[in-house]
A and B are shown apart, each in its own frame.
Chain A
Amino acid sequence: MERKIRVLIAKPGLDGHDRGAKIVARALRNAGMEVIYTGLHQTADMIIETAIQEDVDVIGLSLLSGAHMTLFIDVTKLLKKKNMQDVLFIGGGIIPKEDVSVLKKAGVDGVFGPGTHTEDIVVFIKNNVKL
């Protein structure tokens, strides 16, 4: 069987900056993954629905500020509710240190701050994905 890692990359929230998300999406593609890119303004429900239909192994959300904390928490809750804990959930952006531990406690598997090399994300996914 030729298994390929499928990743959903989305940019929740209202602001229109998806540069970071696109850079990560391209890096993961170049690492041999299939990246489903859904663009801006995604709600937690949309992210989960898309993750189900696309049967992804990884959800990666980009956020620019701590303002999206609640959305992250919502996604972790929905993942539990829908019995989708085998999906690896990662997030990246400008996240204050104190929030990182909150996110991890809530069930976000990996949190990547500014200055993260895309290569680190690739390695993290390859090491932690449940295929």
Chain B
Amino acid sequence: MNDIASKVLKGEPRSVARLITLAENNSPDAAIAMKDIHPNTGEAHVIGITGVMGGGKSTLISEITREYRKQGKKVGIIAIDPTSPFSGGALLGDRVRMMELAMDEGVFIRSMGTRGMLGGLTSAVYDVVEILDASGKDIVIVETVGVGQAEVDVIKIADSTLVVLVPGLGDSIQTIKAGVMEIADIYVINKADRPDVNQTVAEVKSLVDIDCSNKDRKKPVLTTNARNGEGIKELVNEIKKHKKYLDNSKEFDNKRMRRYEAELIEIIKKRLMNLIFDESKFKEKVESLIYKIFKKEVDPYTAADEILGKILK
């Protein structure tokens, strides 16, 4: 077996960390290691957390993790923040809210930038979920950038998706209308210590009532205070209930299949782009076609067909 993969399977943190880096950098070594990783995955419960910016997602993850740890579960956390489109750099600050977990051997936290991906989930996230799963984590939690900052890709990777909202100002309602209704499995109204919480709960519940994305299961609306831990136990119970519900329905396999579909598309996209724009074999051809388009000797669609034809033959 591949050396780094076998160390990951033993749960060695440094190998886990290094393989994640290789995956993020699109290294061919990562693709090789993933051959040995993939057969050893599928056990972890993948929880996606999205919602309004600054809604308390990271703080909530810290509390949820502590609850799972009390129950003896090992937890992997992937915290994603946006990559600056101008510099390509990123400021990854979610760990500030997870400091209490830093010395816990049963917890592995990795911060990621969105890098090139517009959707908000870097394509390497699929690999990172599998790596943490294979390393023995029972729970893998993915924090995505806030809704509105990017689209709601998290659904494709998570078994259970939490949408985090906060009381007041109708922001929450706007967020739900902005397209998270279908992806939410559980709504969390965090910062329940704030005024107007009851009104927000009522508003979200009324939207849940008219939601017909799933007839078998009514989506729960819970309140939490991530600062003092109120409501966390109940939330974790609800997450576990959702997992049970999935296990007993056909939906689980279906969700996983859709995850692999999304991943496969990402890999193919990435490979094709590399082939067309990076490999010297096609570079000249592409450049000359661009010139022909510019000279009106050929139209862009015909040019695209010509390039694809060369690759697929």
Contact = CB atoms under 8 A, between A and B. Distances in A.
- Asked if A and B are interacting partners, one says yes
A45 interface: yes
The 6 A-B pairs of least Cβ separation, nearest first, read: A39-B96, A29-B89, A55-B17, A46-B102, A32-B89, A32-B88
22 contacts: A1-B26, A2-B25, A2-B26, A4-B24, A4-B25, A4-B113, A4-B115, A29-B89, A30-B84, A30-B86, A30-B89, A33-B89, A34-B92, A34-B111, A35-B92, A39-B95, A39-B96, A46-B103, A50-B102, A53-B16, A53-B110, A55-B20
B89 A52 contact: no
A45 B99 CA distance: 12
A31 interface: yes
A77 interface: no
Given A30-B84, A30-B87, A55-B18, A36 B92 contact: yes
A68 interface: no
B109 interface: yes
Contacts of B96: 37-39
B99 A38 contact: yes
Interface string A17-57: 00000000110111111111111011001100110111100
B115 to A, nearest CB: 8
Nearest to A51: B17
A3 interface: yes
B21 interface: yes
Contacts of B148: none
Given A33-B89, A53-B110, 19 more contacts: A2-B26, A3-B25, A4-B113, A4-B115, A28-B89, A29-B87, A29-B91, A30-B87, A31-B87, A34-B89, A37-B91, A37-B92, A37-B96, A38-B99, A46-B102, A50-B109, A52-B13, A55-B14, A55-B21
| Best-surrounded residue of B13, B90, B96, B108 (most CB of chain A within 10 A) | B90
Interface residues of B, number: 32
Nearest to B18: A55
B119 interface: no
Contact of A54 (B88, B93, B110): B110
Interface string A44-85: 011001101111000000000000000000000000000000
B27 interface: yes
A102 B98 CA distance: 33
B101 to A, nearest CB: 10
Contact of A26 (B24, B91, B110, B111): B91
Nearest to B93: A37
Contacts of B88: 4, 32
A78 to B, nearest CB: 13
Contacts of B115: 4
A46 B27 contact: no
Contacts of B111: 34, 36, 54
Contact of B103 (A1, A28, A34, A45): A45
Nearest to B116: A2
Contacts of A52: 13-14, 17
